Amino acid sequence: LSRAALLDEVLSDSGRYWVNPKASQEDLSQNIAEWAHKHLPEGSFAVRTRRLGVGIPGFSRSTIEKKVGALVSSESRPVDLEDPENIISVVISGPEDGPIHQDDIGQNSPIVVWGLSHPGWKRESYSGRAPTERPFFQPVSLDPRQARLLISLAHRRTSETKTVIDPFCGTGGIAIEAALQDIETLSSDLDSRMVEGTLENLASLGTQAIVENCDVSEIASLWGSRSDCAFVFDPPYGRSSWTSGKDMEPFFEALAAAHTIDPEGTLSTMLPTTPEALQAESSDDVEVMGMPWSELEPMIIERGWRPVLRTPVRVHRSLARMVVVCHPAD
């Protein structure tokens, strides 16, 4: 969990309440109170609610906090809003607040989730790590949250990631996030300025990684055969078209090299797509790297990797990227 990129809070002994037309705040509060009598330890407590999306009509954060507090409060469990020993965290999850892509693994029905806030959990802070805060900056720099997300998505339950390999290190966004998690990091770039800049950025944050100046086609001989690898990269983009063989070559070379280095590894990347991908239903006609996904996916599989996750993320109004996670195709 400590390596999760987008995790806000960790709850234990959690409960949930699906919201239907007959649902009410009173019924929800009673459900939470019954749960608390079983799971809330003795000692002072507070109820903290927060909203995801636009919330749920008829469900007020303050009202739920007051009702649950009144139902649960006792001599052994007094309410303490200033310095509680335990916190009941309630998340009111309604529809998304604005345009968003369809999530194949998610659900859009309103739901309320609650549990005990984990006392030892601290949300990851990205202060000082934004691309513009590093000594070496280029417009192509990857946001630290996105870099850590790619690393997180490369995790597999069956094995622990020992090494992160990035053949297009750029300004070092992925190298920094991997090194901060004490994961061995092997980075490279064809542009010597990027290599020097990555080393400078790593040093500024008190971290280190191996960074070499070489073409992606050379990384298999450079790093040799390895195991438990995550190949995490943001390939060069920004060209007017990705449809020519020359433009696609670095990406395909990265796939081939990764399969040579560790055919049992994991691959996590972000590929250029169109903003329309954020609105569309999951479809093989979504354009990725200048071609329909239905054409690109077989090319990825031919090079030893099978996509297991594909979801678009917004970069800005005119640019989106497709997060693609691959496991071995064999």
Residue-range domains of the chain with CATH = 11-117 (3.30.2130.30), 131-328 (3.40.50.150)
| Least confidently predicted of 40-44, 56-60, 172-176 | 56-60
Q: What pLDDT band is residue 243 in, cutting at 50, 70 and 90?
A: very low
List, in order, residues 6 or more apart from 129 with CB less than 8 Å away. 144, 176, 205
pTM for the whole structure: 0.77
Q: What is the pLDDT of residues 252-308, one digit of tens each?
A: 999 999 999 999 999 999 999 988 888 756 566 888 998 999 999 999 999 999 999
For residue 4, the model assigns a pLDDT of 64
For residue 155, the model assigns a pLDDT of 92
Coil, helix or strand for 6?
A: coil
Please determine, for residue 126, whether its predicted confidence score (pLDDT) is greater than 90.
Answer: no
Please determine, for residue 107, whether its predicted confidence score (pLDDT) is greater than 90.
Answer: no
111 within 8 A of 17, measured Cβ to Cβ: yes
Alpha helices in the chain (DSSP H): 25-39, 61-72, 144-153, 173-180, 192-204, 219-223, 245-261, 293-302
Q: What are phi and psi of 269, to 5 degrees?
A: -150, 170
Higher pLDDT, 53 or 145: 145
Coil, helix or strand for 164?
A: strand
User: What's the rounded mean pLDDT across residues 1-9?
Assistant: 64
User: What's the rounded mean pLDDT across residues 91-113?
Assistant: 64
Phi-psi region of 98 (alpha: psi -120 to 50; beta: other; left: phi over 0): left
Residues in the chain: 330
Structure tokens at 313: 């993320």
Please determine, for residue 231, whether its predicted confidence score (pLDDT) is greater than 80.
Answer: yes
User: What's the rounded mean pLDDT across residues 102-106?
Assistant: 45
The residue type found at 314 is R
For residue 67, the model assigns a pLDDT of 97
39 within 8 A of 77, measured Cβ to Cβ: no
Compute the mean pLDDT over every residue in the chain, rounded to the nearest whole number. 88
**d(C-alpha 61, C-alpha 54), whole Å:** 12
For residue 106, the model assigns a pLDDT of 46
Q: What pLDDT band is residue 217 in, cutting at 50, 70 and 90?
A: very high
**d(C-alpha 271, C-alpha 321), whole Å:** 5
Please determine, for residue 323, whether its predicted confidence score (pLDDT) is greater than 70.
Answer: yes
The residue type found at 253 is E
For residue 99, the model assigns a pLDDT of 45
46 within 8 A of 145, measured Cβ to Cβ: no
Please determine, for residue 101, whether its predicted confidence score (pLDDT) is greater than 60.
Answer: no
Please determine, for residue 321, whether its predicted confidence score (pLDDT) is greater than 60.
Answer: yes
For residue 105, the model assigns a pLDDT of 41
For residue 238, the model assigns a pLDDT of 53
